[in-house]
């Protein structure tokens, strides 16, 4: 068992991330989390209080890292969608956690770090729209949501296209779709 609080917390978050991504909040089991982390359940409850707060900590950390990982390019939303797609493919656990969050925590406020990062992306998109560098066909918030959702095609959160479709084929389709939708 780790004696270092930071390391103990990291191990719990890592094991919990795997468990929640696989089973969601309701299906996750504290026994499996502590078993995978090598940390006793008393420390889990000491650090996080309960399973729900542990999920929130995992989701907040991983989702915020994901939102920060791909900077928006308002003048080329198609390539931004492609970069998001690449990120989703490289980090399927984050996509699964976000899907579980929407299913099991939809009535709660998103973590502040995510709200702030998304707000900054919307502000950049508004500025690009006002400068005529990107489409004004939709309000910035809706345009960003559309691009983000299109970037999820082929991920664990999307029923289409067929599993096994080549990464580059899906990416090209997403980029072409966003390019067509955002053409000036």
Q: Is the pLDDT of residue 2 over 50?
A: no
Higher-confidence position of 1 and 166? 166
**Residue 143 contacts residue 182 (beta carbons within 8 Å):** yes
Most confident of the ranges 23-27, 93-97, 98-102, 104-108: 23-27
User: 20: which residues sit within 8 A by CB, 6+ positions away?
Assistant: 28, 55, 58, 59, 97, 100
User: Whole domain around residue 149: which residue ranges?
Assistant: 55-182
**Which CATH number do you get for residue 2?**
1.10.10.60
d(CA 37, CA 47): 14
Residue 1: what pLDDT?
43
pTM: 0.85
Tell me how far apart the 2 most distant CA atoms of the chain are, in Å.
58
**Which CATH number do you get for residue 152?**
1.10.357.10
Residues 101 and 139 in one domain: yes
Residues 23 and 73 in one domain: no
């Amino acid at each position: 068992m780790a004696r270092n609080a930071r390391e103990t917390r990291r191990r719990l978050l890592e094991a919990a991330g795997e468990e929640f991504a696989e089973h969601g909040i309701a299906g996750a089991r504290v026994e499996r989390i502590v078993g995978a982390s090598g940390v006793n359940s008393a420390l889990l409850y000491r650090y996080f209080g309960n399973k729900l707060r542990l999920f929130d900590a995992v989701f907040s950390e991983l989702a915020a890292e994901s939102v920060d990982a791909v900077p928006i390019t308002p003048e080329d939303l198609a390539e931004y969608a492609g970069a998001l797609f690449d990120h989703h493919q490289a980090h399927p656990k984050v996509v699964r956690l976000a899907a579980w969050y929407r299913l099991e925590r939809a009535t709660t406020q998103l973590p502040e770090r995510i709200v702030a990062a998304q707000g900054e992306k919307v502000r950049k998109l508004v500025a690009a729209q006002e400068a005529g560098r990107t489409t004004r066909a939709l309000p910035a918030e809706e345009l960003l949501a559309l691009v983000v959702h299109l970037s999820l095609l082929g991920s664990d959160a999307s029923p289409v296209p067929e599993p096994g479709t080549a990464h580059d084929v899906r990416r090209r389709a997403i980029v072409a779709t966003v390019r067509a939708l955002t053409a000036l």
